[in-house]
Amino acid sequence: MTATLSPPRQGHTRFARAGFLMRVRELGIVLAIVLVFVAATSVNPAFARLDSVQQLLIGASIIALMGVGETMVILTRNYDLSIGSILGLSAYVIGMTFRAHPGTPIVLGFLIGIALGAAIGAINGWITTALRVPSLVVTLAMLYVIRGVDGVIVNGSIIGSDVVPRSFQAVGFATLFGIPWMAIIVVVVVAVAAYSLRSFRWARDLYAIGSSPEAADLAGIPAGRRVFTAFVVSGALAGLAGALFLALYAQIDVNGGTGYEFLVIAAVVVGGVAIFGGSGTVAGAALGAFLLNTINQALVATRISAFWNQAIAGALLLAAIAFDQWLKSRMTTKLQLEKGALREQSSD
């Protein structure tokens, strides 16, 4: 009696393998963080003090928060370069609100930032999906549009700590059992986003769209709505990041948030999110933000020129992209071999 060979579940095998590789990638980032931390502490023991660790968490929080939204966008093979400008604009608008209406509840300040960011994200998403303009062009243009609007609104003025309520500033420096509130907020956002990407169909569709837009279309996935949602989430989280930025620094001017978009994308890609979409996790993006910030603070603690931080970040970005391309080619080759083996079995 000849045994019948059942074909392996290729989709299941592929996603299981990808999930395993992502977990290995995230473990590698954790090990890198530990190595950098230990090396910096051996040179400067003060690096391991509680206040220093708290600063590490706070410094990575804003980048990690925006990295969650950027991850969702990049998963669909799109990019959001406007997040740094959204941060600056939302922070200034919140500050203006506090200055014009001193009794404004701090919760309303956060809601203003989130709503403003979501509105701009909706514009980005609509132009990208409805008018089919490449997201790189749309969000780069939006970056400059917001900077121009911000410049007109700011008009050379600065929102200072005298108009930002102390209760609002407390979110930036207060702790709970030694853990900064900012870090707690980011952990909650990352946990909710990670659960959504694993459990909800609309979020899982982001992976399908990024892996193969043609296959997603054939499967009946509403790609336009999903991409639009990803941009709205990215904008909303950038607006929330603007509120946290104002709470942390208690001041904002026209340059607020400049360059953050590139730091976020670097953190996301270093954290294992494929730059060409389809794979990655928000937890990995958050770890990438923490790694880059740990390297930056370690250079300061060991009195090494801060210019090395940009060089290291760039090198890590190139390495991550090269690794993703190598991994993609390996997985493609293995899938082709599996298909060839199945065809041979079926012919026998």
Q: How far apart are CA 103 and CA 242, in angstroms?
A: 20
Helix (H, G, I), strand (E, B), or coil: what is residue 159? Answer: strand
Which architecture does CATH list for 23-331?
Orthogonal Bundle (1.10)
Sign of CA dihedral 292, 294, 297, 302: negative
pLDDT at 285: 94
β-partners of residue 260 are none
Q: Between 119 and 313, where is the model more confident?
A: 119
What is the per-residue pLDDT across 6-41, written as a single tens digit (0 to 9) for each? 444 444 444 455 555 566 778 888 888 999 999 999
137: phi then psi, degrees, rounded to nearest 5: -70, -45
Here the tokens at position 42 are: 């051996």
Q: How far is CA 325 from CA 96, 121, 141, in A?
A: 46, 29, 28
DSSP assignments along 265-318, one per residue: HHHHHHTT--TTSS---HHHHHHHHHHHHHHHHHHHHTT--THHHHHHHHHHHH
Q: 230, 206 in Cβ contact below 8 A? A: yes
Q: Between 130 and 317, where is the model more confident?
A: 130
pLDDT at 322: 77
Confidence of residue 291 (pLDDT cuts 50, 70, 90): very high
Q: How far apart are the first and last CA of the chain?
A: 15
What is the per-residue pLDDT across 203-242, written as a single tens digit (0 to 9) for each? 999 999 998 888 898 899 999 999 999 999 999 999 999 9
β-partners of residue 179 are 176
With a pLDDT cut of 70, the percent of the chain lying above it is: 86
176: phi then psi, degrees, rounded to nearest 5: -125, 110
Q: Does 74 score more than 50 pLDDT?
A: yes
With a pLDDT cut of 90, the percent of the chain lying above it is: 60
| Contacts of 30 by beta carbon, 8 Å cutoff, 6+ apart | 287
Q: How far apart are CA 227 and CA 15, in angstroms?
A: 21
pLDDT at 11: 44
How big is the CA angle at 333 (ends 332 and 339), to the nearest 5 degrees?
90
E strand spans, the chain: 175-176, 179-180
Q: 243, 109 in Cβ contact below 8 A? A: yes
The average pLDDT across 301-311 equals: 78
Confidence of residue 343 (pLDDT cuts 50, 70, 90): low
Domain segments of the chain as ranges: 23-331
Q: Does 305 score more than 80 pLDDT?
A: no
Amino acid sitting at position 108: L
